[in-house]
């Protein structure tokens, strides 16, 4: 396995979980990932395998049928899965965010109804905040929910839903205009159950998932739009039962999601390093293996240092969240560092492969197309730096 990206202080249970997932990745994901990715084919067999391992319920409390593990355990599992194929980690990420939001903010009825089914993988979640013209300005959402008796009528268009077609539960952020002058108190999260598939939804009149968005990478997993036209949702499907709390619920979910994206960056970078150092010991130029050239050794040293630094930053952010402390500073740092380092490590591995790195026969070609998504997912580098900068000014504010 190598000495990089090791985590101190894990329990025996955590080590066993990670060993099981690592074995699953090596046997069930890596051998088929590139073929499935090139076909843009949903990894049905892999998802079934993850259900059997209990990964969809990894962090859901035991009382609801889950394993009750920490965010750290989950992040380390995601790192292993992303090392095999980043798209597979995306399938569990949005599911986990929705499960976390329900567990942290849902009513008891919502927990009792959704969490056991989510733990078993029977219900799989998607997370819907972004819109076509929204970008990072969440306060500018235009999808609206209007109260109508015991229902809310939803209208609008959402964008960039991971698992938008294959999911059966979507947490959708809408503007509800019931919280006064602050835009952040006028947002509400609705839990919408639907049938998996594309086109007009047969069980939710007015809800449409138009189809998959074609992407340069991050294939296999479906990324979609979500169109809502007079969709009627019962008021008891408001997350937490009270309108106006949606922004804060979503930000809590995004905060955990940033740790997840950092973990994905760590996993992809580690795989790129493995491919690069392996190829460097096989390819010969000027009469010796390229790993013996100082220029390549320097590159490998830089790559390994970045893999290690990103991993330890990600672990710190996960542990901070698990402790119950505020972790937006650490999560922002981890997501920023891991995604940027991932891009750099993948590019260096690509360079080590030379012309062969440009061939679809080599795995590094896939990683080269996957890494850019991490630069924008769960908030761009610029957003992370803005969050980190503001928090630092809070922490180091001078007395006036």
What whole-number distance in Å separates Cα of residue 49 and Cα of residue 95? 16
- First-to-last alpha carbon distance for the chain, in angstroms, is 53
What whole-number distance in Å separates Cα of residue 187 and Cα of residue 259? 24
Q: HSE-up of 193 (CA within 13 Å, CB side)? A: 11
Q: What is the pLDDT of residue 257?
A: 84
DSSP label at residue 397: P
What three-state secondary structure class fits 10?
A: coil
CB 190 within 8 A of CB 145: yes
Per-residue model confidence as pLDDT tens digits over 168-177: 999 999 999 8
DSSP label at residue 146: E
Catalytic residues: 378
For the chain, the C-alpha Rg in angstroms (whole number) is 21
Q: What is the pLDDT of residue 5?
A: 87
Strands 207-209 and 223-234 turn out to be antiparallel
Q: What is the pLDDT of residue 241?
A: 95
pLDDT tens, per residue, the chain with 400 residues: 678 989 999 999 999 999 999 999 999 999 999 999 999 999 999 999 999 999 999 999 999 999 999 999 999 999 999 999 999 998 998 999 999 999 999 999 999 999 999 999 999 999 899 999 877 778 889 999 999 999 999 999 999 999 999 999 999 999 998 877 788 889 999 999 999 999 999 999 999 999 899 999 999 999 999 999 999 999 999 999 999 999 999 988 888 888 999 999 999 999 999 999 999 999 999 999 999 999 999 999 999 999 999 999 999 999 998 998 888 899 999 999 999 999 999 999 999 999 999 999 999 999 999 999 999 877 788 888 998 999 999 999 998 7
Which tokens is 147 given?
């109260």
Q: What is the pLDDT of residue 318?
A: 94
Which tokens is 15 given?
């080590």
What whole-number distance in Å separates Cα of residue 367 and Cα of residue 20? 24
Residues of the chain above pLDDT 90, percent:
83
DSSP label at residue 41: -
What whole-number distance in Å separates Cα of residue 19 and Cα of residue 6? 12
Answer positive or negative: Cα dihedral of 193, 377, 373, 228: positive
Per-residue model confidence as pLDDT tens digits over 272-285: 999 999 999 999 99
Specify the DSSP element, H or E, that contains 297. Answer: helix 294-322
CB 189 within 8 A of CB 101: yes
Q: Which residues pair with 288 in a beta bridge?
A: 285
Which tokens is 205 given?
């009149």
Pick from 304, 271, 348, 278: nearest CA to 82: 271
**Ordered DSSP codes for 151-214:** EEEEEEEEEEEETTTT-SEEEEEEE---S-S-GGGSEEEEEEE--SSSEE-SSSTTEEE--BPP
What whole-number distance in Å separates Cα of residue 342 and Cα of residue 163? 23
**Ordered DSSP codes for 98-113:** HHHHHHHHS-HHHHHH
Q: What is the pLDDT of residue 1?
A: 63
Q: How long is the chain? A: 400
CB 141 within 8 A of CB 154: no
Per-residue model confidence as pLDDT tens digits over 133-178: 877 778 889 999 999 999 999 999 999 999 999 999 999 999 998 8
Residue with tokens 């710190």: 316
Specify the DSSP element, H or E, that contains 269. Answer: helix 246-280
Phi, psi at 370, each rounded to 5°: -80, -35
Pick from 50, 40, 100, 64: nearest CA to 259: 100
User: C-alpha angle with apex 189: 188 to 195, nearest 5 degrees?
Assistant: 140
């Amino acid at each position: 396995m190598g000495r990089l990206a090791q985590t101190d202080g894990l329990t025996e249970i955590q080590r066993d979980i990670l060993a099981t997932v690592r074995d699953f990745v090596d046997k069930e994901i890596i051998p088929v990932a590139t073929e499935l990715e090139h076909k843009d084919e949903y990894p049905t067999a892999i998802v079934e395998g993850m259900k059997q391992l209990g990964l969809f319920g990894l962090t859901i409390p035991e009382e609801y049928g889950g394993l009750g593990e920490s965010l750290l355990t989950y992040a380390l599992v995601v790192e292993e899965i992303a090392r095999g194929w980043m798209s597979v980690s995306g399938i569990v990420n949005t599911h986990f965010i929705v499960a976390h939001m329900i567990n942290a903010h849902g009513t008891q009825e919502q927990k009792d109804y959704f969490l056991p089914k989510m733990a078993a993988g029977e219900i799989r979640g998607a997370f819907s905040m972004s819109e076509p013209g929204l970008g990072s300005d969440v306060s500018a959402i235009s999808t609206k929910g209007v109260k109508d008796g015991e229902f809310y009528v939803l209208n609008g268009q959402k964008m960039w839903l991971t698992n938008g077609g294959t999911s059966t539960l979507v947490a959708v952020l809408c503007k509800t205009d019931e919280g006064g002058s602050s835009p952040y108190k006028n947002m509400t999260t609705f839990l919408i159950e639907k049938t998996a598939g594309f086109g007009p939804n047969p069980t939710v009149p007015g809800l449409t998932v138009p189809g998959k968005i074609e992407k340069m990478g991050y294939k296999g997993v479906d990324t979609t739009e979500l169109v809502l036209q007079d969709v009627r949702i019962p008021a008891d499907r408001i997350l937490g039962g009270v309108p106006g709390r949606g922004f804060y619920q979503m930000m809590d979910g995004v905060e955990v999601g940033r740790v997840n994206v950092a973990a994905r960056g760590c996993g992809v970078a580690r795989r790129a390093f493995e491919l690069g150092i392996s190829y460097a010991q096989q390819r010969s130029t000027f009469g010796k293996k390229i790993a013996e050239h100082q220029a390549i050794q320097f590159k490998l040293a830089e790559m390994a240092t970045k893999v290690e630094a990103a991993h330890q930053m990600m672990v710190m952010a996960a542990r901070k969240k698990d402790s119950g402390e505020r972790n937006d500073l650490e999560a922002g740092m981890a997501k920023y560092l891991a995604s940027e380092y991932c891009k750099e490590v993948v590019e260096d591995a690509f360079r080590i492969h030379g012309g062969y790195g440009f061939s679809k026969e080599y795995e590094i070609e896939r990683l080269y197309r996957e890494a850019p998504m991490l630069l924008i997912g769960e908030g761009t580098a610029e957003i992370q730096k803005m969050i980190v900068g503001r928090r630092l000014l809070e922490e180091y504010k001078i007395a006036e």
